[in-house]
Structure 1
Amino acid sequence: MTIKHFEEIDLNNLSDYYSKEIKLNGNTVNVDLNFDSATLTESDVNNLNNVFNLLQDLLKNSLTWIQQDLRTGVDVQEYINFHLEDFFEEEPEEILVGTDKSLSNQDRFLQTLHVSRIGIYPSTKDNYVVMDYMTNEDLSNYILVINVKSDLNLNYITIES
C-alpha cells in the first residue's frame, strides 16, 4: 500500500514532513504531508489517497468557499481590500494585470488567485487539508488560507503573511 504521489514513503518509519511538487490544473503546486506519528494505518493511507483523488474537486470547492466568504464573511473581503485599497490603491493594474477588464476590480483580483501550497495533516480532524491561495508572489506575501476538515468540508478561511 502506498500514498499517491508519495510512493517512496516508508509507512512504518515516517518522518514528520514530506514535500513534493505536483501538477494540478496545469499548474505546479507544492504539496506537503505532515505527520505526528511514525506509522500510518491502512485507513490513514486510504484517507490520504482519497484526498489526492479528490484534489481537483477540492480546488473547485475552495473557489466556491472563497466566493461565499466574499459575499457573507469578512476574510476574503479583507484580503481583497488590503491589496486593492491599501496596497495597490494608486496602481491597481499592477496586481490586476492579465485579468478581464470588463469585471469589477474585486472580481478581477479573484482571477489572480492561485493555489501555491496544499498541506495535509492526517492526524488533525479540523485542519486536515490546508490550501494556501496567493496572488502574484512578487507583489504580495499575504496568503488566503482555506482550512478543510477531514470530511473535506470547509472549516474556516483566514489570512496569513
Structure 2
Amino acid sequence: MADEQLTTQTFVSTLPAHPYLVWRHATRFTGINGELYPWLRMTAPAGVAALDPARIRVGRPLFRSWLLLGGLIPVEYDDLVIDELEPGRRFLERSSMLTSTVWQHERTVEPAGGGCRLTDRISFAPRWEPLRPLMAPVVRLLFRHRHRRLARRYGAAG
C-alpha cells in the first residue's frame, strides 16, 4: 500500500509519570481497555493479559481481537501483528481490520522532564474508500479520548 493512500494522525501527551509505568499500563489489556472505556473494549484470548515481549513473534499474527462497542457489541476486529518492538519504549502494530486493509498504530513512550511523552501515530487505509471521510474523525475522537483518559489517570492537564 503506497503511503499516499494512508491517512495519518498523531496524538501526543506529556504525562507526569515514569515511562516504565506508562509503558506497562499501555501494553496490558486492562490499561488498553481503560483508555478505551466506556466506548470500546478489545478482546484477547484467555490467558493473554498483556503484549508480552517474550510471547510476541515480531511480524507474525498474534490473534484476532474484537472491538466491542460499549464492551458488548462486536463492531470491528483487529488481526493483531506487532511489526516492530522496542520493549519499554515503542511498538509498531501493522494489522488489518474489518474496515481497513492497513491499520498502523505506533506508540512511543519517552522520558520528558520529570515524566514522559506518549505519542500515538495512527495510519490507516480504509477497505472501502467511501469510509475514509467517516474514519478520520472517528479515529481522532477515539485517540483524543484515550489521551484524556491517560491524562486523568496520571494527573496531567487534559
Report if TM-score (shorter chain) is over 0.5.
Answer: no
By relative contact order (CA 8 Å, sep 6+), the higher-ranking structure is: 2
TM norm structure 1? 0.29
Higher strand share: 2
